[in-house]
Amino acid sequence: MKITIVGTGYVGLVTGACLAEIGHDVFCLDVDPRKIEILNGGGVPIHEPGLLELIARNRAAGRITFSTDIAASVEHGEVQFIAVGTPPDEDGSADLQYVLEAARSIGRHMNGFKVVVDKSTVPVGTAQRVHGVLAEELAKRGLAQSVDHRFSVVSNPEFLKEGAAVDDFMRPDRIIIGLDEDENGTAAREKIKRLYAPFNRNHERTIYMDVRSAEFTKYAANAMLATRISFMNEMANLADRVGADIESVRRGIGSDPRIGYHFLYAGCGYGGSCFPKDVQALIRTAAESGQNLRVLEAVEEVNHGQKEVLVKKIARVCGDDLTGKHFAVWGLAFKPNTDDMREAPSRRLIADLLSRGATVAAWDPVAAEEAQRVFALDLAHAPDQHARLTFASSQDDALMGADALVIVTEWTAFKAPDFAHLKKVLKAPRIFDGRNLYEPDTMAELGIDYHSIGRPHVNLANSAA
């Protein structure tokens, strides 16, 4: 089938590459010429495991094209995916300007029956607005009643996880399709069924529902996941106070199948391009309908506080004023296997360390370049602080002469470092671990002063070491 993807970011690019992989003829559009130039030069503007190879293979097979040509992109696809950003507006609601602009350009160039698919995460009622924009543009062209320019707007929210996006897309747990059961909806359903048929061979993964419920499902899913994280973080903070070990508690409660082990880790707060903005947007949607989402308001507040937990632990040990102290920070991306720095906990942590007078040597296996760009913007108001942040050339290099190592992202490369070497190159053998990567007892045996989240701190003087 001929498919167009409007917006070639994390979601659009992965969607386009995966749909090409199963045999569709995909046209990827973006308004950012820099991205298209990178893609047409054989590169990929984001880090996502397996994506470069997937794109190269499908480009060679002639199944994927990248362009900034809007008219050509609309003409190409019988199915038009809208996969543009929906960043938070000032009041926390989803900013729909990019989605509506994408719809407008489809309406301006529409040349036949089109199924317009909202893949961006959008509030309930957005498909209706997209429908309105398309109708408006057709009316401007005198095509309001044209049987050759019919269309249907479908909601197909995306559930991929950055860092495992290609795998998630190729092996989805579910495909949510929201559509209206009118005449155009029936034609749309047939196209969507054909489009996703290869994913349903083993068993049916598509769940059909009305458009508004599909839009809601995406927010409810992210809100639930964010709730589990904030719940565990709050339990971890209590475990810290009462001397319990949150890792034992996690195993204890995760064994209950009603709870399960997934997404139950305590840490230094959630970030990324989805949970923070989607929780906020759902709170706004509820407020507009006259309802307070008290659980989600607490989830957000707990997460905000959690991003300060590490720096508070550091201040307790090293003092409030960190002037003259030097920290190695491992992990900048909001999660492993991505270079995405949006709302990454490292941003708050590093800004806090710098504002208390410290110097920081930061390291991330893939996000360093993106982090340099982001911190230049974050710290533009404080050049003296920005000057105290350096980016190390290796994981090891970051440690040299640091008063402590701070771990913010759980990259695999951080899971089993050479602790003897680490002790040698750090000024003091001390780790603040925001991801609970190591065992407190083992660290004490190694003579490392180890502070983690929700687990007892083993006092080195009292340990066997």
Q: Which residues contact 147 (CB under 8 A, 6 or more apart)?
A: none
CB of 35 or CB of 250, closer to ligand NAD: 35
Smallest distance from the beta carbon of 371 to ligand NAD, in angstroms? Answer: 16
The helix/strand/coil state of 294 is helix
CB of 64 or CB of 235, closer to ligand NAD: 64
Smallest distance from the beta carbon of 388 to ligand NAD, in angstroms? Answer: 30
Helix, strand, coil in percent for the chain, rounding step 5:
45, 15, 40
CB of 195 or CB of 279, closer to ligand NAD: 279
Closest chain position to ligand NAD (CB): 9
Smallest distance from the beta carbon of 5 to ligand NAD, in angstroms? Answer: 9
> What does the buried/exposed string (b/e) look like for 19-46 if buried means 16 or more CB atoms within 10 Å of the residue's CB?
bbbeebbbbbbbbeeebbebbeeeebbb
Q: Which residues contact 2 (CB under 8 A, 6 or more apart)?
A: 24, 25, 27, 76, 77, 78, 79
**Pairwise CA distance, residues 20 & 39, whole Å:** 15
Nearest-5° angle of CA 198, CA 4, CA 30?
Answer: 130
CB of 85 or CB of 107, closer to ligand NAD: 85
The helix/strand/coil state of 150 is coil
Smallest distance from the beta carbon of 35 to ligand NAD, in angstroms? Answer: 5
Q: Which residues contact 447 (CB under 8 A, 6 or more apart)?
A: 423, 429, 460, 465
Q: Which residues contact 197 (CB under 8 A, 6 or more apart)?
A: none
**Pairwise CA distance, residues 106 & 128, whole Å:** 15
CB of 6 or CB of 362, closer to ligand NAD: 6
Smallest distance from the beta carbon of 448 to ligand NAD, in angstroms? Answer: 35
Query: Which residues are known to be catalytic?
Result: 274
CA distance to 26, 272, 282, per residue, from 355 (Å) = 48, 23, 33
Smallest distance from the beta carbon of 291 to ligand NAD, in angstroms? Answer: 22
Q: Measuring CA to CA, which residue among 304, 307, 356 is closest to residue 327?
A: 356
CB of 46 or CB of 379, closer to ligand NAD: 46
Smallest distance from the beta carbon of 452 to ligand NAD, in angstroms? Answer: 27
CB of 106 or CB of 360, closer to ligand NAD: 106
Neighbouring CB atoms inside 10 A of 341's CB total: 23
Q: List contacts with ligand NAD (CB under 6 A).
A: 6-12, 29-32, 35, 83-86, 98, 101-102, 105, 120-121, 158, 160, 162, 273-274
Which residue reads 């959690």 in tokens? 306
Chain centroid, CA 164 distance in Å: 11
